[in-house]
Amino acid sequence: QVQLVESGGGLVQPGGSLRLSCLASGFSFSLHSMTWYRQAPGKERELVAGINILGVTTNIAGSVKGRFTISRDNAKNTVYLQMNSLKPEDTAVYFCRQAGGYWGRGTQVTVSS
């Protein structure tokens, strides 16, 4: 019954911003670290950012450090990824994952003029 539902993706111009959300259900959200991954066409899935149960940011990818921010709201069972100064190379499907190994279906982010 674990469900992770991503939302907030879309088409954005270079330099723009998006905020992704991942709504979790079916488990004790506050007791799990959460992570955002992304996968571009023809490439391996890569870790973007993680956050632990205390709300401390972990596992920041060097390519997004200083531009992306991960956060969580335990009252809403939601983890967020704020993405600023977006670049074309950020184009990918973005997935959220919980430490137990469950994945969402992903949300598409396309950065293009």
pLDDT 10s digits, 79-103: 999 999 999 999 999 999 999 999 9
CA-to-CA separations, 52 to 32, 40, 84, 93, in angstroms, rounded: 7, 25, 22, 22
Backbone phi, psi, residue 5, to 5°: -120, 110
Give residue 36's pLDDT. 98
Give residue 44's pLDDT. 97
pLDDT 10s digits, 3-25: 999 999 999 999 999 999 999 99
pLDDT 10s digits, 36-77: 999 999 999 999 999 999 999 999 999 999 999 999 999 999
Beta bridge partners of 23: 5, 78
DSSP string, 12-35: E-TT--EEEEEEEESS-GGGS-EE
Please, are residues 38 and 95 in contact by the beta-carbon 8 Å criterion? yes
Please, are residues 37 and 95 in contact by the beta-carbon 8 Å criterion? yes
